[in-house]
Every structure is written in structure tokens, then in C-alpha cells.
């Protein structure tokens, strides 16, 4: 049974028998007392929170009288019902506070996830730049290795030439003179 049906079933005794409210605009409204209407499009169970304790006690007594006509409602039962109602309200308030906390944490996590996404994109761009720089270094190394091979070939050709062999005694004499000039070595 839906809450609206339950409320409508047990509040039929509160509705007046007058036909002035039979118009289409008032026919679907729930009325607990004269002048106090519940609009049909709003949730009826939320309006019970606005009633005073006396009104709630009267409604509970009439509900129990309708449901259990042989029993009477005593003060202890009313106190228990009110305690249960207060405990349920406190639990609802706690659950709403917990939901708000969890929603805040969820929003923080979503922001953190977005930040991690941008950081990942930045790192991916950095990796791409590193790969490009690595390729540049590899091509530069290939150029330098080619240049080194060319210089070695030139040096080998130079040392194998006749002029290098003819000037060998002159280079040895020049090295000996330099050794005599620098006694610290």
C-alpha cells in the first residue's frame, strides 16, 4: 500500500461531508480539518511534520480507534510513539548529513580525477617531447659517428703518407727540445 493510499484510507473520517468541496479543484485534496488542505501534487507524508504534538496525538488516537476499536491509547504508548518518531527523525537527519558528506567527498574525488586526467595529459605530452628529443640525439650521434669515422680515415691516410714518414725525425727532435724547456714534468 502506498503512503498516499494509507493516509487517504485512515483520514476519510476527517473529511467533511459537505458538498462544497466536490468541485474538481477541491475534490482531489486531502483535508484533515476545516481550512487545512493538502495539495494533491505534493507529498502528503511530509506535511505530518508540520503538525503539533496535540494534532499528531489526535490523529494517532483516531487511527487506532479506527484500526483497533476495542483498545485505548495510553500515555505510555504515546510517549513510545513520540520517542520512535523522534528517533526516526534524528536518524533521517543523520542520514541526510551523511549523504551530504558523501556527496562532498564524491565531488572532491571527481575534481581529483579531473586533475589527474590533466596531469596524465601533461605527462603524455612530456613523453612525446622526450621521444622527439631522443630521436634528435640519435640522429646527432649518427652524424658525429660518421664524422669521427671520416676523421680516423683521414688520420690513417695522413700517417701512411710519405711526408709524415720524412718529418718523423723532426717531430722527435721538437719533442725533446720541449721536454728540456719544461723541467717540472
Among 14-18, 32-36, 106-110, the range with the most confident prediction by mean pLDDT is 106-110
Q: Which pTM does this prediction carry? A: 0.37
Cell 528517533 appears where? 87
The pLDDT, as a whole number, for residue 132 is 94
Distance CA 154, CA 150 (A): 6
The pLDDT, as a whole number, for residue 26 is 45
pLDDT tens-digit series, residues 40-71 = 554 545 555 566 777 777 777 777 777 766 66
Q: Which pLDDT band, with edges at 50, 70 and 90, does 143 fall under?
A: very high
Residue 128's SS3 state is helix
Average pLDDT for the chain = 78
Q: Which pLDDT band, with edges at 50, 70 and 90, does 20 fall under?
A: very low
In the chain, what are the domain boundaries?
1-72
Cell 480507534 appears where? 65
The pLDDT, as a whole number, for residue 136 is 95
Q: Are 47 and 100 in contact (CB under 8 A)?
A: no
Amino acid at each position: 500500500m502506498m503512503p498516499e493510499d494509507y493516509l487517504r484510507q485512515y483520514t476519510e473520517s476527517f473529511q467533511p461531508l459537505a458538498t462544497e468541496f466536490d468541485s474538481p479543484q477541491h475534490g482531489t485534496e486531502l483535508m484533515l480539518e476545516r481550512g487545512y488542505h493538502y495539495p494533491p501534487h505534493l507529498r502528503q507524508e511530509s506535511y505530518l511534520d508540520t503538525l503539533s504534538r496535540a494534532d499528531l496525538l489526535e490523529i494517532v488516537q483516531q487511527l487506532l480507534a479506527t484500526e483497533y476499536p476495542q483498545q485505548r491509547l495510553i500515555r505510555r504508548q504515546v510517549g513510545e510513539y513520540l520517542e520512535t518518531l523522534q528517533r526516526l527523525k534524528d536518524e533521517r537527519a543523520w542520514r541526510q548529513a551523511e549523504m551530504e558528506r558523501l556527496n562532498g567527498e564524491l565531488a572532491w574525488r571527481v575534481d581529483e580525477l579531473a586533475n589527474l586526467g590533466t596531469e596524465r595529459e601533461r605527462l603524455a605530452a612530456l613523453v612525446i617531447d622526450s621521444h622527439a628529443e631522443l630521436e634528435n640525439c640519435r640522429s646527432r650521434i649518427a652524424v658525429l659517428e660518421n664524422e669521427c669515422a671520416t676523421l680516423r680515415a683521414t688520420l690513417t691516410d695522413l700517417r701512411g703518407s710519405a711526408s709524415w714518414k720524412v718529418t718523423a725525425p723532426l717531430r722527435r727532435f721538437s719533442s725533446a727540445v720541449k721536454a728540456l724547456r719544461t723541467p717540472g714534468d
